[in-house]
Amino acid sequence: MTRLFTSTGYVDADDATTTLCLHALPPFLRVLLTTDGTVTKSLESFFWEPVRVVNKGQAYWLLDADAPVINRKAGEQVLRRTVQLIGEKTGTCYATAVSLVCAELLTKELRLNLEDGRVGVGELLRECGLETYREIVAIGEAGNGGSETPLVSSDSIWRTYRIAMDHQPFIQITEFFPLSIYV
């Protein structure tokens, strides 16, 4: 598995880890793709409006293919969740995220709060003070990594990262950013 941006936010143009032309992207979108911080806070700061996490659906789901990013095999169960990050003043959808969560690795309280679906994963992890590590594993363009959700625009740039706790990956998140919002 490729590990991107672990010690730097820069990738050489001839780096073979991605075909995405990073230097041609809008600067703030590059920041979002390479950060291991919370995207919602960055969006609020850059666009200067509150951003809310809108749950568009979640359910326990049996994987139809392996999910090596979180060490899961086809047929294993995960909580699949789709959310959108929406500007409260403008109604702009800044991002759509699809998460696969190994719910059995969470504490009962954390799992119940996540299943409740009212807040984002990052906010929930911050609130409970859980020590985690984020690792970006892939970036690309819509149609080149794709999504199974109709909520993603065809001009999206995406990144996939995983969240680990105690060196055990337990959440895989793919975020889709509509390019037209960031140009």
Q: Is the pLDDT of residue 181 over 60?
A: yes
pLDDT tens, residue by residue, 141-170: 876 444 555 678 888 999 999 999 888 999
Contact 114, 103 (CB under 8 A): yes
Of 35-49, 71-85, 122-136, the range with the lowest mean pLDDT is: 122-136
Structural domain spans, the chain: 22-182
pLDDT value, residue 148: 56
| Residue 39 token pair | 């995207």
Please choose, from the candidates 1, 71, 68, 6, the residue with its C-alpha nearest in 3D space to the C-alpha of residue 36.
Answer: 6
CATH topology of domain 22-182: Chorismate lyase (3.40.1410)
pTM for the model stands at 0.84
pLDDT tens, residue by residue, 6-54: 444 445 544 555 567 888 899 999 999 988 777 988 999 999 999 999 9
Please choose, from the candidates 97, 95, 59, the residue with its C-alpha nearest in 3D space to the C-alpha of residue 80.
Answer: 59
Cα distances (angstroms) measured from residue 12 to each of 4, 114, 139, 145, 159: 12, 38, 14, 21, 18
Mean pLDDT of the chain: 83
Q: Is the pLDDT of residue 114 over 90?
A: no
- Residue 174 is classified by DSSP as E
